[in-house]
A and B are shown apart, each in its own frame.
Chain A
């Protein structure tokens, strides 16, 4: 580039700048600027044309004033004029002004684009570079529209100068990043890839950035770059340090280019071609070898460059994960770095090892460094390095060293830095659960955790302990004992009280035999903590007390006394007061039988993803080591904790809300009683408790909020047309429901409330109630993002003949949902006659500008309108026989998809809406039900018989389901619906 000659320096500008610098106060500066602006205005206004030099000078001054923070609203035209100058400096200032100051102003943009076009076609390399830099600096969509087609041509043209090619490649990269849809490589692809063969190293370096970015989007099109990259890399790696002259940096040949090449290769799987692969492995080996050589220079730049290549090579090795030999070598190399003087190197080594630990080939090799890592965790001065060490420990943990690692982490926790404590706690909790061979160890560990770092133990951790203790019979007694002992400490953390309250409330009876932990002692111990706790914990303790009344009748009077005291029954907190009043009444009115049923032991929790894991994932950042690995662990843990799907609650209280509040429950706020809007304070959802709703159920809703594990899989909302499973009866312009919607529908056959749908953006909760032929559905739309949804509209349509069968009215919903907020919609349904299809719910909204459109099936099925009918055995069989015409009966034999659990089956049949008739069928294994479907036009009586066969001849569990009803379509539909449920 031509240097600015001495005569070109702008004296006026220099004087102006020094004036500004010399200003004593802000006011003086503003005055000086106003004066200068007026001067420039009068100069620009002047009728005689300015010469290029003064124009440049004034534009420069304007630019300076703008950069000082003042508004500039003129001078654009002059700047654009500068673009057409033939002098480099004038053109440069013009472009500078344009890139800094011009926004998408329609009239000027045209002129600017014209000037840029002229420069691009000028054949003068410096002008071309200036134009390309301007395009890249502005990088707007308009620029992309105007030049996206032109630049690739310049990039690959044979006669383009090297420096221009460099600029063109980087400019194109920038445009691609801002508006990828406008940059279409198409025909240029192969020629761009061949830039990797260019003579000029600078061009290769620039091109490789572009190719890396492009190949991340369309890996297939750029596949050919792999072999080229490998050969290029091998040429560099094998070259002597003096070969590349300008591109040798402190004796390292082309370090930046090597790093970029290695990074490009990380976009692709290992090359299939053996020769290429061999060459690549050779390269990687050479790099690893070079790391062992004594340094050629003591300068830090030399080692930095060398290590940069080495670390990129190691990440490539980890990415390929197929060369055990290389992996182990990399691991050893990193092991050396672990003890290096340089803190940065130790950090990087720990970070890379984290990923190495997840590879099966190198896991063992990584494990050999455990002592060093533990040492790093304890002695490292920099907290970020300690954090990496903790991550690595977490990653290298397996069954063999779990005890050691967990113990080390626990002991470190006492002195750990506050910023990483919570994460450490989560990690300890997960490891303890994942590799727990013996559950008493697990319980000990977690209780220790709460003792050491109670403040940092998040809710999820202690929920998880409870879940596991409840699901594992063998550990319950031990847990109760340990908890009891832990509670005896004079000061214990509130979380400990929570766990203690819950576990003693459930399993206190297991240790009541010992006189040292007699019921009364247990109660007094818990109650001694009561006054030190926050409201949610107190609420939990109250529930524990009522459980005590059930477990130990002898404590009844003491507990009633406590409940009756003014500090409970007249507590200013409404939740506590309500519990006290209701528990007191419950304990004094209900008979022991009723009490025993109501306060039955909690049913096992349905198996689901550990909530702690979800929490750790949410924390993200560097803590989220390879997710795959965690998933694996989770599965492993799942098996250990025994259980498959054991959904449904067998307890007699329909409302017993046995779940820990998953985030979805909070979002929905369904537990908080009457339909709430997002703003309503939902005290209930904060309280994790066995019977949050027991006995409080006064509004007749079935409050069965089944935490839906399935829905936590995020289903991306897809536009219509993506799905090809359109229901046959849909009118053509009707939106097509999601492919999953049928499945979602089936979920709600036997229940009325829950999460209907969930993806990354939106969660839809549903709550419904039915009486006779009328139904009402409350839909809760929760915005899971922090950005508001606009133009949120929902429509409910009845496709095809359903229009005449169902009468659906929906109230309009708020068009705006704030981030994190929830809105409610009420839909009223009247059943005119029996039906088989489900109404469609179409939801449209804009999220960050993009239109989201999704269609679901509303879970309205014919069985919702059942009215249960009780009848005696005699009546039942009489009616059964009356409905003996072949078309009135529908029968299906199918395999069980879930375990045959009598209680679960009963709950499902009850959820169906029919009356479950006991002692009717001669075979006690069988279930029979009766009910009447209420529709406006008619009533359809239906009878059902379900015969489980636990040992069918094939060894599989089978069911035979028979439905008889007075209308043939009803029988068929019921049979279809029910067959999916068991």
Chain B
């Protein structure tokens, strides 16, 4: 179990230090600073073992969060906790920065007391936490006994993530399918590795204790239904599927509100949602990924002092859709002494501080192509070392899910209150972003 938790700034100064167990001494704080933050070589492993003590760290901009333990803990659990901790903190005070942490240190200690007990993670649902940990100072006077007991019963009850008696005039919910697509492609256009990791994020403003059921074009479910030939299928999903019918999900994880037993037996996703925004599920697919862009690089070395680079990008989706925030990053050799760029679309610039040419295009429709050509002048060096040719990377945002996932339905049942599925206003949005989207050159 987690023995302690430290937060450092970029200089390695301790901002927050909370020790949960006696086996973690004060010197652990310094050990991490010396061996990881100030290490001669950059430490790339997220888990570091120093003197039989394990440090699990993540970095948020300039802030280091490190969980420390002497025991053999589940590392995935620790990281999940650290990320959750970040979510909670940003839900309370926005961006995680040194200044924000310093300004909110009382709050952070309060939170740490609540979400970790003797090193065991507890309820870290922001919605629930916000009912009793607030930034407004002590609310004791205003809180009635009733309210307090309500909080107690909620926190300790079966549905700890939602309190009773929520009321909205308009019952509304927003569903976002956010995906990031990762790719590594050879110069010849062969896919070396590709996967999509996606999240379904839901924002719910529903009254009472509604029971929800979520359906998507998961291959297993579709096949089963196809075989059974059931007719009570709610028909076509609101958006209507085009192209392929179903997708194969490699693995997925759910928010704690989802009834896993039901998922295991019927593969149906049913739950009572928390109020407000939360992440319903996460998933990963590796098959039949729609690659939104294709990058075709052409690098020619002209003598020892010149390099000619030509890069063509092709968009590969429906012409009606528009990709946004496209950015292509073409690395340049370390001995570049001058660059001339010509591009037909967008803006391109040589950024010396990053050793790369950055080409930005605001918008681009599907089934189009665009190209850039650059002449790079090189300075002759003594080193015989050859340039390593790092891959060309790309960033973009597209309004569809590259995995092919479609939301088929989201049904809401609330038996006690008087509204039905049809009264709920539902919004669905798909956003596909680039993860690590690289093409070798």
Contacts and interface: CB of A to CB of B under 8 A. Distances in A.
Contact of A74 (B353, B377, B379, B385): B379
A260 B156 CA distance: 84
Given A24-B62, A25-B10, A41-B336, A73 B353 contact: no
A42 B338 contact: yes
Interface string B39-73: 00010000000000000000000100000000000
Contacts of A320: none
A199 interface: no
User: In terms of DSSP, what is the predominant structure of the interface of chain A?
Assistant: helix
A108 B10 CA distance: 42
A67 interface: no
Contacts of B193: none
A673 B380 CA distance: 65
Interface in B336-377: 336-338, 352-355, 377
Contacts of A34: 352-355
A26 B62 CA distance: 10
Interface in A667-709: none
B352 A39 contact: yes
**9 pairs of A and B residues whose beta carbons are closest in the complex:** A38-B352, A45-B337, A31-B353, A35-B353, A41-B337, A73-B383, A73-B381, A35-B352, A34-B353
Contacts of A32: 353
Nearest to B380: A74
Nearest to A32: B353
A24 B338 contact: no
Interface string A549-562: 00000000000000
A877 B136 CA distance: 123
A63 to B, nearest CB: 16
Given A73-B381, A76-B382, A45 B338 contact: yes
A339 to B, nearest CB: 42
Contact of B335 (A24, A31, A41): A41
25 contacts: A31-B353, A34-B353, A34-B355, A35-B352, A35-B353, A37-B352, A38-B336, A38-B353, A38-B355, A39-B352, A41-B335, A41-B336, A41-B337, A41-B379, A42-B337, A42-B338, A45-B338, A45-B377, A73-B334, A73-B335, A73-B381, A73-B383, A74-B382, A76-B382, A105-B382
Given A73-B334, A74-B382, 12 more contacts: A25-B62, A38-B336, A38-B355, A39-B352, A41-B335, A42-B338, A44-B337, A44-B379, A45-B338, A45-B379, A73-B381, A76-B382
Interface centre among B354, B377, B379, B383 (most CB of A within 10 A): B379
Interface in B151-178: none
Contacts of B377: 45
Contacts of B336: 38, 41
Contacts of A108: 382
Contacts of A45: 337-338, 377, 379
Contacts of B42: 26
User: In terms of DSSP, what is the predominant structure of the interface of chain B?
Assistant: loop
B357 to A, nearest CB: 12
A34 B353 CA distance: 5
A42 B305 CA distance: 12
B142 to A, nearest CB: 42
Interface size on A, as a range, is 10 to 19
Interface in A869-900: none
B382 A73 contact: yes
Contacts of A24: 10, 62
Interface in A100-127: 105, 108
Interface in B378-392: 379-383, 385
A42 to B, nearest CB: 5
Contacts of A73: 334-335, 381-383, 385
A42 B338 CA distance: 6
Nearest to A102: B382
B391 to A, nearest CB: 18
B172 to A, nearest CB: 42
Given A31-B354, A34-B352, A74 B10 contact: no
A45 B380 CA distance: 9
Contacts of A42: 337-338
A41 B42 CA distance: 27
B12 to A, nearest CB: 11
Contacts of A25: 10, 62
Interface centre among B353, B354, B380 (most CB of A within 10 A): B353
B80 to A, nearest CB: 27
Interface string A34-63: 110111011011000000000000000000
Contacts of B385: 73
A973 to B, nearest CB: 65
A73 B379 CA distance: 10
Contacts of B380: 74
Interface in B1-17: 10
A37 B355 CA distance: 10
Contacts of A37: 334, 352
A48 B102 CA distance: 53
A74 B338 contact: no
A378 B10 CA distance: 50
A196 to B, nearest CB: 45
A31 B352 CA distance: 8
A35 B356 CA distance: 11
A32 B42 CA distance: 18
A25 B62 CA distance: 8
B41 to A, nearest CB: 11
Interface in A1-40: 24-26, 31-32, 34-35, 37-39
A267 to B, nearest CB: 43
A656 B355 CA distance: 76
B183 to A, nearest CB: 25
Contacts of B335: 41, 73-74
B92 to A, nearest CB: 24
Interface in A435-488: none
B175 to A, nearest CB: 36
Contacts of B354: 31, 34
A74 B62 contact: no
Nearest to B62: A25
Nearest to B350: A38
Nearest to B61: A25
A35 B377 CA distance: 16
Interface in A259-286: none
A41 B377 CA distance: 10
Interface in B91-114: none
Contacts of B353: 31-32, 34-35, 38
Interface centre among A38, A45, A105 (most CB of B within 10 A): A38
B329 to A, nearest CB: 14
A35 B350 CA distance: 11
A32 to B, nearest CB: 7
A30 to B, nearest CB: 8
A25 B337 CA distance: 26
Nearest to B338: A42
Interface string A62-89: 0000000000011010000000000000
Given A25-B62, A41-B335, A74 B381 contact: yes
